[in-house]
């Protein structure tokens, strides 16, 4: 069967970076492709590049979900998917009639067969972990964390004893050293918060609030045994313990229709984090992907898509971080629920903070809102207004000054719109930073 | 001072320099009073954390402010998706102009979601042809959006905002007014030009020269005053405009001078010599004066004053060895009859061919293709706007195919590539591909031809998706 084409937006969302997306657009003209074919749930084509022999590009659409294709290309690019694979998908989205039905050449067929064979065999071949060794590693790590946080507490108290007015005079290396110690102590989450201290130096009230939050970590850790399991999970997540994927996936899941509401990427030092928010009724699931040192992310779930999927939440007082179990299959979208007022959004955020004081952000469907450009931009409804991060011309173009419903992240300071409900469909947004 | 502020004040100077503040009577301060640690630093940090969290959790929206007026309803239909889908592909390529033209020809407006990228590109582009193409397709939403964004404001200048806008914005405003109401545009020039800065003046006069017609004779008094302007640019532009208005006094004076010259009586020095740009010293029967007058007197005025025909005028110019100035004149004034006459003497003059009768130009194209003279083809075709006729396009593609650089003969490769690039954007998109290149073609020739065909295919798709007929 010929697979239903992904929409052009969905294809471009797969791009590892903006340059690839732009290059793919340029290549997505049938004339660049002497050969284009779409045999059973795959695409392949030949693209005339700068060399004499054209590149042979293949896309496997037979995966668990057509929204997560696999790619192969004979070009030397290390990006995945490369511009040729993206262009091939784009062409399929825009010029499906230019595709023939011919079978792929041997090299591609071998790859496709190999993938099919791997998909057929079941994967769990993980060695049974040795419980004793695990407990030992765990104890060793906890000891390191204890030492690191103890030192951090002393550092924080020293800051307060000397007065924060003197903190601005400290060399940057002070903060870096302290952060590096926490990395060594295997508490990268705390290290991150320490690295953020210099951002608040110009605003004493924000600085004190930030230090207070860090201090809570150093107090909570030594008495973690008095906390509930969910609270302990919050604490571990804030300290940067990795989640126990196997444990999460072994737990109970929520089999439902999940709508991909929006995506955002933040970069800290050399690590980029991509957040994908899914909702189902009142449930929210946050999928995280990481990419280090500019390497591309794994293919994304495009916003706007609705999936039949089983979501397993990581433990915590506010169910948010989650993993997908098994296959996610696209399904008929449901009408989105009505948006929250800004007051109700803050209410929900406050309720979540009451449970987990280290929660960095929550995401909500909010609206109808008026978008007010200015410095900064604001979103406003009859309950009041909240500042937005950056500028968002696409949002303004879609709304035209009329109220609009958004899916947005709130981090306690600014509202970041991730997508807009426009004419019944979810339109992903890219914010433009003011920098 | 409330409790959080008191805590902050102490945190700033340091707990070593003061006692902990006593929590106040309110509920939150009461809760804070319950938080104690063995040392004042710990107590302060823990109480600060409590207050910060309570503050964050209890936050209410800020009071609402003014909001912009919504965009007016659209008056044009939205461009159908099958045509709109091409914009991301063609934006930032030479094909954008054609896409915008097709969009405007169909009477459509750009879909809202695509506006920001288009406005961003137009605001940063150096392509001056883009602005006028953009105006008709932005729709109400696009103009509304452009006015709200500081970087885009110049793309949609408000007619009432002449004072506030940039020189480029004023030029744009004037060009738009000129299109809709030429009389109002003339009145605007008469009213405003004197008080404009040099930069704006140059832009407005350039825009006038781009759009000058016979109806602009009422501007003559204004242009006359500008021929004595301080700025040499302004003087030149004003003289050029007066030259192209056949009934201007400048043309009449020049025709009288020329008649006197040909009649054997050298023109007497007169007051207007300097403002009319005559070469120094005036009044002599020098070839310089003759050349100037032949080049700068409107052909219609000349023909009437000398009571002669284009052919006779051409013969006269040849007698005096002054064909080139007369040719320059015919080109500047787009005078087809004079160009036709001059082409008998200067059959290969590229600009004359553009002004002359189309059949002469077509014959020149054919000749150049038969001669396989790529250099000449480039000169002839470069000023020829697209889309070219199907016949010319097909013949050119055949020529490109026949002149393909080979491993044995690759002397004209650069011209060949330039011509292929020109054909990609200008040739008629429904031109048939001429077939595979010979085996001994250079390694990159198939790539160039492939690119040309890819562009033509894309443009063919564009035409189809915009519902444009083959014609």
Question: B56 vs A50: CB contact, 8 Å cut-off?
Answer: no
Question: B119 vs A208: CB contact, 8 Å cut-off?
Answer: no
B197 and B326 within one domain? no
Q: What is the pLDDT of residue A156?
A: 96
Query: What is the C-alpha separation between B122 and B129, in angstroms, rounded?
Result: 10
Quick one: DSSP state of residue B153?
Answer: G
Q: What is the pLDDT of residue A406?
A: 95
Contacts of A328 (CB under 8 A, 6+ apart): A64, A65, A67, A68, A258, A301, A307, A308, A309
Instruction: Using CA coordinates, name the residue in chain A closest to B142.
Output: A397
Residue B233 lies in a domain: yes
Is the CB of B144 inside 8 Å of chain A's CB atoms?
A: yes
Final residue of a structural domain among B337, B352, B367: B352
Residue B434 lies in a domain: yes
The packing angle between helices B390-402 and B374-381, to 10°, is 150
Query: What is the C-alpha separation between B250 and B252, in angstroms, rounded?
Result: 5
Query: What is the C-alpha separation between A53 and B356, in angstroms, rounded?
Result: 47
Query: What is the C-alpha separation between A423 and A428, in angstroms, rounded?
Result: 13
B149 and B294 within one domain? no
B335 and B367 within one domain? no
B365 and B420 within one domain? yes
Query: What is the C-alpha separation between B189 and B195, in angstroms, rounded?
Result: 10
- Which residue segment(s) compose the domain that B43 sits in? 3-56
Query: What is the C-alpha separation between A105 and A56, in angstroms, rounded?
Result: 9
Q: What value does the mean pLDDT take over residues A201-223?
A: 95
B96 and B11 within one domain? no
Q: What is the mean pLDDT of chain A?
A: 87
Among B6, B41, B431, the residue to mutate for chain A (most A Cβ within 10 A): B41
Question: B65 vs A378: CB contact, 8 Å cut-off?
Answer: yes
**A-B contacts (CB, under 8 Å):** 194
Query: What is the C-alpha separation between B159 and B179, in angstroms, rounded?
Result: 14
Using a CB-CB distance cutoff of 8 angstroms, which residues of chain B are in contact with residue A25?
A: 88-89
Query: What is the C-alpha separation between B48 and B26, in angstroms, rounded?
Result: 16
Question: B60 vs A394: CB contact, 8 Å cut-off?
Answer: no
Q: What value does the mean pLDDT take over residues A198-217?
A: 94
Query: What is the C-alpha separation between B105 and B82, in angstroms, rounded?
Result: 16
Instruction: Using CA coordinates, name the residue in chain A closest to B445.
Output: A52
Is the CB of B454 inside 8 Å of chain A's CB atoms?
A: yes
Q: What is the pLDDT of residue B13?
A: 94
Question: B7 vs A208: CB contact, 8 Å cut-off?
Answer: yes
Is the CB of B465 inside 8 Å of chain A's CB atoms?
A: no
Question: A385 vs B17: CB contact, 8 Å cut-off?
Answer: no
Is the CB of B332 inside 8 Å of chain A's CB atoms?
A: no
Using a CB-CB distance cutoff of 8 angstroms, which residues of chain B are in contact with residue A26?
A: 89, 93
Using a CB-CB distance cutoff of 8 angstroms, which residues of chain A are in contact with residue B454?
A: 29-32
Q: What is the pLDDT of residue A139?
A: 92
Helix (H, G, I), strand (E, B) or coil at A284: strand
Shortest Cα distance, chain B CAs vs residue A325, angstroms: 33
Q: What is the pLDDT of residue A3?
A: 47
Residue B159 lies in a domain: yes
Instruction: Using CA coordinates, name the residue in chain B closest to A207.
Output: B8
Using a CB-CB distance cutoff of 8 angstroms, which residues of chain B are in contact with residue A168?
A: none
B87 and B194 within one domain? yes
Query: What is the C-alpha separation between A220 and B149, in angstroms, rounded?
Result: 48
B344 and B222 within one domain? no
Query: What is the C-alpha separation between A82 and A70, in angstroms, rounded?
Result: 11
Using a CB-CB distance cutoff of 8 angstroms, which residues of chain A are in contact with residue B119?
A: 393
B348 and B418 within one domain? no
Burial class (CB in 10 A: 0-12, 13-18, 19+), A368: middle
Using a CB-CB distance cutoff of 8 angstroms, which residues of chain A are in contact with residue B141?
A: 397, 400
Helix (H, G, I), strand (E, B) or coil at B422: helix
Confidence of residue A2 (pLDDT cuts 50, 70, 90): very low
Facing B49 at nearest CB: one of A216, A350, A393: A216
Is the CB of B162 inside 8 Å of chain A's CB atoms?
A: no
Which of these, B232, B240, B233, lies nearest to B208 by C-alpha position?
Answer: B240
Per-residue pLDDT tens digits of chain B, which is 471 residues long: 688 999 999 999 999 999 999 988 888 988 999 999 999 999 999 999 999 999 999 999 999 999 889 999 999 999 999 999 999 889 888 899 999 999 999 999 999 999 999 999 988 887 767 888 888 999 999 999 988 887 787 777 666 778 777 888 788 888 888 887 889 899 989 988 888 888 899 999 999 999 999 999 999 999 999 998 888 899 999 999 999 999 999 999 999 888 888 887 776 777 788 888 887 765 555 788 889 999 999 999 999 988 999 999 999 999 989 999 999 999 999 999 999 999 999 998 999 999 999 999 999 999 999 999 999 999 999 988 889 999 999 999 999 999 888 888 777 788 999 999 999 999 999 988 888 888 888 888 888 888 898 899 999 999 999 988 765
Q: Are strands A42-47 and A55-60 parallel, antiparallel or unpaired?
A: antiparallel
Is the CB of B62 inside 8 Å of chain A's CB atoms?
A: yes
Which of these, A194, A211, A188, lies nearest to A141 by C-alpha position?
Answer: A188
Shortest Cα distance, chain A CAs vs residue B237, angstroms: 41
Confidence of residue A178 (pLDDT cuts 50, 70, 90): very high
- Domains in chain B, number: 4
So where are chain A's domains?
8-120, 140-239, 245-330, 342-428
User: What is the tens place of the pLDDT at every residue in A132-143?
Assistant: 888 898 899 999
Please count the other Cβ atoms lying within 10 Å of the Cβ belonging to residue B382: 13
Using a CB-CB distance cutoff of 8 angstroms, which residues of chain B are in contact with residue A215?
A: 42, 45-46, 48-49
B344 and B224 within one domain? no
Check if the beta carbon of residue A297 is closer than 8 Å to that of residue A18: no
Q: What is the pLDDT of residue A303?
A: 87
Residue B186 lies in a domain: yes
Sheet holding A425-428, edge to edge: A384-387, A378-381, A362-372, A404-410, A415-422, A425-428
B297 and B202 within one domain? no
Helix (H, G, I), strand (E, B) or coil at B337: helix
Shortest Cα distance, chain B CAs vs residue A386, angstroms: 6
Is the CB of B421 inside 8 Å of chain A's CB atoms?
A: no
Confidence of residue A294 (pLDDT cuts 50, 70, 90): low
Residue B64 lies in a domain: no
User: What is the tens place of the pLDDT at every residue in A247-288?
Assistant: 999 988 999 999 999 999 888 777 888 999 999 989 999 999
Q: What is the pLDDT of residue B282?
A: 53
Please count the other Cβ atoms lying within 10 Å of the Cβ belonging to residue A226: 9
Is the CB of B61 inside 8 Å of chain A's CB atoms?
A: yes
Q: What value does the mean pLDDT take over residues A413-423?
A: 91
Rounded to whole angstroms, the maximal C-alpha distance in chain A is 76
Residue B326 lies in a domain: yes
Q: What is the pLDDT of residue B381?
A: 93
Using a CB-CB distance cutoff of 8 angstroms, which residues of chain A are in contact with residue B449?
A: none
Q: What is the pLDDT of residue A162?
A: 94
Facing B458 at nearest CB: one of A29, A34, A394: A29
Residue B430 lies in a domain: yes
pLDDT at A164 over 50: yes
Q: Are strands A254-268 and A306-313 parallel, antiparallel or unpaired?
A: antiparallel
Question: A161 vs B14: CB contact, 8 Å cut-off?
Answer: yes
Using a CB-CB distance cutoff of 8 angstroms, which residues of chain B are in contact with residue A378?
A: 62, 65
Q: What is the pLDDT of residue A435?
A: 33
Q: What is the pLDDT of residue A59?
A: 87
State how far Cα A250 lies from the chain centre: 22
Facing B450 at nearest CB: one of A48, A212, A346: A48
Check if the beta carbon of residue B430 is closer than 8 Å to that of residue B464: no
B189 and B45 within one domain? no
Confidence of residue A74 (pLDDT cuts 50, 70, 90): confident
Question: B89 vs A373: CB contact, 8 Å cut-off?
Answer: no
Assembly ipTM: 0.77
Question: A343 vs B60: CB contact, 8 Å cut-off?
Answer: yes
Q: What is the pLDDT of residue B318?
A: 92
pLDDT at A87 over 80: yes
Facing A401 at nearest CB: one of B48, B68, B447: B68
Among B17, B36, B45, the residue to mutate for chain A (most A Cβ within 10 A): B45
Facing B61 at nearest CB: one of A32, A161, A385: A385
CA angle A31, A77, A92 (to 5 degrees): 35
Is the CB of B455 inside 8 Å of chain A's CB atoms?
A: yes
B163 and B41 within one domain? no
Using a CB-CB distance cutoff of 8 angstroms, which residues of chain B are in contact with residue A396?
A: 116, 145, 148
Residue B452 lies in a domain: yes
User: What is the tens place of the pLDDT at every residue in A363-415?
Assistant: 999 989 999 998 899 999 999 999 999 888 899 999 999 999 999 999 999 99
φ, ψ for residue B436, nearest 5 deg: -65, 150
Which residues make beta-bridge pairs with B348?
A: none
Q: Quick one: which H or E segment has residue A350?
A: helix A342-355
* Position with higher pLDDT, A239 vs A101: A239
Question: B148 vs A396: CB contact, 8 Å cut-off?
Answer: yes
Facing A204 at nearest CB: one of B8, B16, B59: B8
Burial class (CB in 10 A: 0-12, 13-18, 19+), B401: middle
Please count the other Cβ atoms lying within 10 Å of the Cβ belonging to residue A30: 20
Using a CB-CB distance cutoff of 8 angstroms, which residues of chain B are in contact with residue A350?
A: 56-59
Check if the beta carbon of residue A32 is closer than 8 Å to that of residue A47: yes
Instruction: Using CA coordinates, name the residue in chain A closest to B41.
Output: A157
Query: What is the C-alpha separation between B342 and A361, in angstroms, rounded?
Result: 78
Check if the beta carbon of residue A8 is closer than 8 Å to that of residue A93: yes
Using a CB-CB distance cutoff of 8 angstroms, which residues of chain A are in contact with residue B149?
A: 373, 393
Q: What is the pLDDT of residue A95?
A: 77
Q: Token pair for residue A60?
A: 């496997």
Is the CB of B59 inside 8 Å of chain A's CB atoms?
A: yes
Is the CB of B432 inside 8 Å of chain A's CB atoms?
A: no
User: What is the tens place of the pLDDT at every residue in A326-351?
Assistant: 888 888 887 888 899 999 999 999 99
Which of these, B469, B388, B398, lies nearest to B425 by C-alpha position?
Answer: B388
Shortest Cα distance, chain A CAs vs residue B440, angstroms: 14
CA angle B234, B237, B238 (to 5 degrees): 85
Question: B60 vs A52: CB contact, 8 Å cut-off?
Answer: no
Q: What is the pLDDT of residue A434?
A: 41
Is the CB of B238 inside 8 Å of chain A's CB atoms?
A: no
Burial class (CB in 10 A: 0-12, 13-18, 19+), A62: middle
Question: B45 vs A393: CB contact, 8 Å cut-off?
Answer: no
């Amino acid at each position: 069967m010929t697979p239903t084409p992904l929409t052009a937006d969905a294809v471009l969302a797969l791009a590892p970076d903006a340059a690839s997306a732009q290059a793919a657009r340029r290549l997505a003209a049938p004339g660049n492709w002497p050969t284009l074919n779409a045999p059973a749930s795959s695409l392949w084509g030949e693209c005339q590049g700068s060399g004499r022999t054209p590149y042979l590009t293949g896309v496997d659409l037979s995966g668990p979900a057509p929204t997560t294709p696999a790619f192969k290309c004979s070009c030397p690019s290390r990006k995945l998917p490369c511009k040729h694979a993206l262009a091939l998908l784009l062409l399929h989205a825009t010029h499906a009639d230019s595709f023939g039905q011919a079978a792929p050449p041997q090299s591609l067929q071998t790859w496709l067969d190999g993938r099919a064979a791997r998909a057929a065999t079941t994967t769990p071949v993980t060695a049974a972990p040795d419980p004793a060794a695990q407990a030992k590693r765990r104890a060793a790590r906890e000891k390191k964390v204890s030492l690191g946080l103890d030192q951090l507490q002393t550092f924080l108290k020293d800051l307060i004893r000397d007065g924060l007015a003197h903190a601005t005079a400290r060399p940057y290396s002070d903060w870096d050293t302290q952060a590096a110690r926490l990395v060594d102590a295997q508490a990268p989450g705390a290290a991150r918060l320490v690295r953020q201290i210099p951002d608040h130096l110009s605003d004493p009230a924000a600085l004190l609030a930030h230090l207070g939050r860090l201090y809570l970590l150093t107090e909570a850790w030594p008495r973690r045994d008095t906390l509930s399991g969910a609270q302990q999970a919050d604490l571990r997540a804030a300290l940067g313990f990795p989640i126990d994927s196997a444990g999460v996936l072994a737990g109970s899941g929520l089999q439902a229709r999940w709508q991909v509401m929006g995506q955002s990427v933040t970069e800290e030092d050399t690590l980029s984090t991509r957040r994908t928010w899914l909702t189902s009724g009142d449930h929210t699931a946050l999928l995280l992907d990481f990419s280090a040192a500019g390497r591309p992310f794994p293919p994304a779930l495009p916003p706007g898509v609705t999936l039949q999927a089983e979501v397993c939440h990581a433990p915590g007082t506010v169910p948010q971080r989650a993993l997908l179990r098994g296959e996610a299959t696209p399904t008929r979208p449901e009408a989105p629920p009505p948006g929250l007022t800004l007051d109700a959004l803050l209410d929900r955020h406050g309720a979540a903070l009451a449970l987990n004081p280290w929660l960095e952000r929550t995401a909500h469907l909010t609206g109808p809102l008026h978008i007010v450009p200015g410095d900064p931009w604001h979103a406003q409804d009859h309950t009041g207004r909240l500042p937005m991060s950056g500028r968002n011309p696409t949002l303004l173009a879609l709304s035209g000054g009329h109220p609009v419903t958004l899916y947005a992240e709130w981090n306690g300071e600014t509202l970041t719109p991730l997508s807009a409900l426009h004419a019944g469909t979810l339109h992903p947004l890219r914010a433009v930073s003011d920098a | 001072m409330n409790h959080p502020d008191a805590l902050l004040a102490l945190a700033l100077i340091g707990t070593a320099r003061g006692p902990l503040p006593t929590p106040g009577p309110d509920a939150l301060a009461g809760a804070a009073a319950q938080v104690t640690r063995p040392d004042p630093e710990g107590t302060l940090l823990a109480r600060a954390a409590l207050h910060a969290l309570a503050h964050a959790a209890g936050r209410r929206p800020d009071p609402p402010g003014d909001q912009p007026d919504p965009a007016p309803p659209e008056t044009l239909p939205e461009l159908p998706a099958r045509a709109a889908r091409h914009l991301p592909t063609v934006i930032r390529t030479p094909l954008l102009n054609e896409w915008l033209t097709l969009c405007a020809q169909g009477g459509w407006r750009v879909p809202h979601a695509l506006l920001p990228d288009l406005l961003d590109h137009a605001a940063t582009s150096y392509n001056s042809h883009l602005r006028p193409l953009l105006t008709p397709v932005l729709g109400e939403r696009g103009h509304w959006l452009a006015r709200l964004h500081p970087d885009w404001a110049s793309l949609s200048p408000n007619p009432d905002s002449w004072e506030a806008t940039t020189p480029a914005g004023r030029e744009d405003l004037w060009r738009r007014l000129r299109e809709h109401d030429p009389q109002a545009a003339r009145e605007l020039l008469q009213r405003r030009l004197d008080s404009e800065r040099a930069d704006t003046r140059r832009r407005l006069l350039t825009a006038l020269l781009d759009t000058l017609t016979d109806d602009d004779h009422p501007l003559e008094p204004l242009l006359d005053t500008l021929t004595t302007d301080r700025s040499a640019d302004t003087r030149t532009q004003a003289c050029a405009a007066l030259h192209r208005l056949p009934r201007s006094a400048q043309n009449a004076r020049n025709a009288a001078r020329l008649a006197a010259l040909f009649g054997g009586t050298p023109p007497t020095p007169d007051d207007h010599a300097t403002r009319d740009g005559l070469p120094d010293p005036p009044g002599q029967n020098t070839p310089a004066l003759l050349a100037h007058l032949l080049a700068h007197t409107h052909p219609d005025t000349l023909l009437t004053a000398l009571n002669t025909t284009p052919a006779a005028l051409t013969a006269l110019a040849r007698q005096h060895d002054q064909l080139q100035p007369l040719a320059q004149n015919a080109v500047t004034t787009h005078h087809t009859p004079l160009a036709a006459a001059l082409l008998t003497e200067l059959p290969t003059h590229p600009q004359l061919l553009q002004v002359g009768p189309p059949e002469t130009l077509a014959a020149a194209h054919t000749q150049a293709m038969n001669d396989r003279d790529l250099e000449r083809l480039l000169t002839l075709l470069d000023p020829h706007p697209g889309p070219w006729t199907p016949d010319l396009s097909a013949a050119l593609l055949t020529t490109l195919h026949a002149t393909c650089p080979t491993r044995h003969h690759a002397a004209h490769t650069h011209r060949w590539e330039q011509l292929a690039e020109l054909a990609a954007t200008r040739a008629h998109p429904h031109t048939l591909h001429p077939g595979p290149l010979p085996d001994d073609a250079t390694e990159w020739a198939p790539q160039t031809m492939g690119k040309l065909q890819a562009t033509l295919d894309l443009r063919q798709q564009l035409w189809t998706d915009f519902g444009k007929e083959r014609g």
